[in-house]
């Protein structure tokens, strides 16, 4: 031991070293006898793994929790006493041990808020139970020794592994350790019962007790029932968490520098349900809180007009008392403007790319306006100027059904492509600086519009037919032509346009994106989620997932310039070019 602390201080000051930036790992502290405390293994393992530990006392003040989460890059939910079963609606069993009520509510709150913010997490012993309790799973109050195979509360020293667990081959845990069998220590009698739909079990002991679980949503969350901070073989888990924290920190910093735009969301479809955009509304995939969680800057919110079928009226398909399509679109835009006005501290309208950047500079999220289905024009060319003056940046020419402008991919070939009226619509949109959007258009309508339009064409929410054979998707030839004309294809996150069989996930979104980049080049692709219009898949389920999506792009070795292009830059370049031509 050295007592020359002044010499150590001189060494620090003498060289003026620049401290290496390291991810900050928050660790929930235990509580006992009016003291907040933490076993040394947690913070020493974090330091050994390359992180900076920050101890978090058990406080249920939400402002304190939120401010703490703003300053950490990952969260460790530490071990400790039992959970009060009342938090999951159960009465205590006779075998329940002592609970630690001081920790329960604070840790359930911080876990849920960290989950909303996509912060990487690791739960240890009590911590895996915290993950389950907070995120839809259940906890067994006492596993006992009824199976008669394993003693789950060992007498040996905490550093000694005393039983084995079997690990799933396709798990992150297996990737970390490269083994199907791990030897672990055990100091518990509560355990996860059911993981819930946000997790899957990836390790069990031989008596079937859940020993580890991880996210089913491609999020950086792992829970383990043992105490890796106490054993020599525990460091890899901490290194995994610190690496995930570094990636999260880098993605968040990137979002501070770039501008992110989702080019198509259908949130107004829920306006008739009295939703609250300023709250974390469970009905919505896009609201102010979710945009903030995902560090998403802006979205193009559309007035969607359902195409009436034969013998139907438009009024039969909407839930507001309106006389016509134009009135309906105006009503939707009025409601968007009211939402913005009521939340002007945090939210603003934008009509140009420059206004998006200005709003970001002032700490505001942005909404742009779009129209999905040229039915809103009511057959009157003059209405294009009306909507252009309202700030509409694009009009999707049709939806699921032919209209008076063009044939739809799901229509009846009424015009054999773009109608004579449709040609005039495209010309007027060109003249007034409104983007022509061909998502939903029939292939013949696409090629007609490409010939007619004097400005680049966009597809605000379309995917690749080569990967998912759906008439709504674009062929490689269409994508190449779109790029040659200077336009963009925004990959959509609607499951039926991503794969024909099985569950679509964010991995399918990335495959479609990669394919579009290969066909069109990096300067002609982007993302149009179709959130709140049945868009959303596991791993990219709401606006809250945007920062995680950025992490996935970084993992695929897209650089910052590429990511800015994909997450809005390409679409905004085209928008700016078209708006410059407005007469």
Q: Which residue has the tokens 């029932």?
A: 225
**Does the structure show a pLDDT above 80 at 18?**
no
Strand duo 52-56 + 24-28: pairing? parallel
**Does the structure show a pLDDT above 80 at 407?**
yes
**Does the structure show a pLDDT above 70 at 2?**
no
Distance CA 283, CA 276 (A): 9
**Which of the pair, 155 or 572, is modelled with greater confidence?**
572
What is the per-residue pLDDT for 457? 98
Question: What's the pLDDT tens digit per position in 176-185?
Answer: 999 999 999 9
**Does the structure show a pLDDT above 60 at 554?**
yes
pLDDT, the chain, mean: 93
Distance CA 436, CA 453 (A): 8
Neighbours of 557 (CB within 10 A): 7
**Does the structure show a pLDDT above 80 at 194?**
yes
Q: Which two tokens stand for residue 539?
A: 């791993």
Q: Which two tokens stand for residue 60?
A: 């249920």
**Does the structure show a pLDDT above 90 at 102?**
no
If DSSP codes are grouped into helix, strand and coil, which group holds residue 286? coil
**Does the structure show a pLDDT above 80 at 536?**
yes
Distance CA 297, CA 521 (A): 24
Q: What value does the mean pLDDT take over residues 100-109?
A: 87
Lowest mean pLDDT among 187-191, 391-395, 547-551: 187-191
**Does the structure show a pLDDT above 90 at 7?**
no
What is the per-residue pLDDT for 314? 86
* pLDDT band for position 15 (cuts 50, 70, 90): low
Q: Give whole-number Cα distances, 521 to 41, 398, 515, 526, in Å.
A: 49, 27, 9, 11
Tallying the residues shown for the chain, one arrives at: 583
Q: What value does the mean pLDDT take over residues 129-143?
A: 91
Distance CA 495, CA 265 (A): 15
What is the per-residue pLDDT for 16? 56
* pLDDT band for position 417 (cuts 50, 70, 90): very high
**Does the structure show a pLDDT above 70 at 148?**
no
Q: Are 125 and 187 in contact (CB under 8 A)?
A: yes
Neighbours of 259 (CB within 10 A): 19
Q: What value does the mean pLDDT take over residues 298-308?
A: 96
DSSP output for 448-462: HHHHH-SS-EEETT-
Neighbours of 511 (CB within 10 A): 19
What is the per-residue pLDDT for 70? 96
Neighbours of 326 (CB within 10 A): 18
Handedness of CA 545, 547, 550, 552 (dihedral sign): negative
Distance CA 14, CA 10 (A): 6
Angle CA(325)–CA(395)–CA(381) in degrees, nearest 5?
65
Q: Are 73 and 120 in contact (CB under 8 A)?
A: yes
What is the per-residue pLDDT for 522? 98
Question: What's the pLDDT tens digit per position in 258-268?
Answer: 999 999 999 99
**Does the structure show a pLDDT above 90 at 299?**
yes
Angle CA(397)–CA(400)–CA(404) in degrees, nearest 5?
45
Handedness of CA 533, 539, 544, 550 (dihedral sign): negative
What is the per-residue pLDDT for 81? 82
Distance CA 518, CA 24 (A): 37
* pLDDT band for position 33 (cuts 50, 70, 90): confident
**Which of the pair, 96 or 486, is modelled with greater confidence?**
486
Angle CA(432)–CA(438)–CA(444) in degrees, nearest 5?
120
Spell out where 381-531 has E strands: 392-396, 435-437, 457-459, 488-491, 525-527
Q: Which two tokens stand for residue 389?
A: 């003056």
For 314, phi and psi rounded to 5 degrees? Answer: -60, -40
Q: Are 222 and 214 in contact (CB under 8 A)?
A: yes
Question: What's the pLDDT tens digit per position in 220-255?
Answer: 999 999 999 999 999 999 999 999 999 999 999 999
Question: What's the pLDDT tens digit per position in 56-97?
Answer: 999 989 999 999 999 999 999 999 888 877 777 777 776 667
Q: Are 267 and 370 in contact (CB under 8 A)?
A: no
Lowest mean pLDDT among 99-103, 375-379, 548-552, 563-567: 99-103
Report which DSSP code applies to 388.
H
Q: Which two tokens stand for residue 115?
A: 């989950």
What is the per-residue pLDDT for 36? 85
Distance CA 85, CA 89 (A): 7
Q: What value does the mean pLDDT take over residues 186-204?
A: 93
**Does the structure show a pLDDT above 60 at 282?**
yes
Q: Are 214 and 22 in contact (CB under 8 A)?
A: no
Residues 6+ apart with CB under 8 A from 93: 85, 141, 142
Lowest mean pLDDT among 15-19, 449-453, 489-493, 523-527: 15-19
Provide, rounded to the nearest whole percent, the portion of the chain with pLDDT above 90: 83
């Amino acid at each position: 031991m050295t007592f020359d602390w002044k010499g150590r201080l001189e060494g620090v000051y003498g060289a003026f070293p620049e401290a290496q930036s390291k991810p900050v790992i928050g660790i929930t502290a235990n509580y006992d006898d009016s003291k907040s405390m933490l076993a040394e293994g947690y913070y020493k393992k974090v330091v050994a793994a390359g992180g900076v530990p920050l101890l978090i006392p058990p406080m249920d003040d939400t402002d304190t929790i939120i401010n703490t989460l703003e300053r950490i890059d990952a969260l460790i939910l530490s071990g400790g006493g039992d959970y009060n079963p009342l938090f999951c609606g159960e009465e205590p069993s006779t075998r329940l041990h002592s609970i630690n009520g001081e920790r329960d509510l604070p840790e359930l709150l911080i876990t849920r808020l960290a989950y909303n913010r996509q912060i990487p997490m690791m739960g240890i012993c009590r911590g895996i139970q915290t993950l389950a309790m907070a995120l839809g799973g259940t906890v067994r109050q006492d596993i006992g020794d009824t199976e008669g195979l394993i003693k789950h509360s060992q007498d040996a020293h905490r550093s000694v592994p005393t039983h084995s667990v079997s690990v799933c081959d396709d798990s992150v845990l297996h990737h970390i350790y490269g083994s199907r069998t791990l030897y672990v220590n055990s100091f518990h009698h509560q355990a996860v019962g059911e993981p819930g739909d946000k997790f899957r079990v990836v390790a069990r002991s031989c008596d079937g007790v859940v020993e580890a679980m991880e996210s089913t949503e491609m999020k950086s969350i792992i829970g383990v029932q043992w105490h890796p901070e106490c054993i020599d073989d525990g460091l890899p888990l901490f290194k995994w968490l610190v690496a995930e924290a570094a990636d999260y920190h880098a993605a968040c910093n990137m979002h501070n520098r770039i501008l992110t735009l989702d080019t198509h969301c259908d949130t107004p479809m829920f306006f008739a349900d009295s939703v609250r955009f300023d709250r974390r509304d469970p009905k919505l995939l896009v609201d102010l809180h979710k945009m903030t969680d995902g560090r998403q800057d802006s979205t193009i919110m559309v007035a969607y007009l359902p195409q009436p079928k034969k013998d139907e009226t438009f009024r039969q398909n909407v839930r507001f008392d309106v006389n016509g399509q134009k009135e309906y679109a105006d009503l939707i835009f009025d409601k968007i403007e009211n939402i913005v006005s009521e939340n002007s501290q945090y939210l603003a309208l934008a009509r140009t790319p420059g206004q998006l950047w200005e709003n970001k500079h002032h700490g505001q999220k942005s909404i742009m306006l779009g129209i999905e289905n040229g039915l809103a024009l009511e057959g009157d060319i003059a209405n294009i100027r009306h909507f252009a003056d309202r700030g509409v940046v694009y009009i999707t020419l049709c939806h699921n059904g032919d209209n008076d402008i063009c044939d739809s991919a799901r229509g009846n070939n009424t015009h054999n492509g773009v109608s004579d009226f449709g040609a005039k619509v495209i010309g007027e949109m060109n003249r007034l600086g409104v983007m022509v959007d061909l998502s939903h258009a029939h292939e013949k309508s696409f090629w007609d519009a490409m010939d007619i339009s004097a400005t680049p064409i966009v597809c605000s929410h379309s995917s690749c037919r080569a990967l998912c054979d759906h008439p709504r998707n674009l062929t490689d030839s269409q994508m190449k032509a779109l790029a040659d004309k200077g336009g963009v294809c925004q990959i959509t996150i609607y499951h039926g346009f991503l794969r024909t069989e099985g569950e679509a996930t964010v991995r399918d979104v990335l495959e479609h994106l990669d394919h579009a980049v290969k066909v069109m080049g990096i300067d002609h692709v982007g993302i149009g989620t179709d959130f709140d219009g049945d868009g959303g898949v596991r791993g990219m389920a709401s606006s809250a997932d945007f920062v995680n999506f950025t992490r996935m792009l970084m993992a695929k070795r897209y650089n910052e310039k590429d990511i800015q292009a994909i997450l809005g830059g390409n679409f905004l370049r085209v928008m700016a070019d078209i708006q410059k031509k407005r007469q």
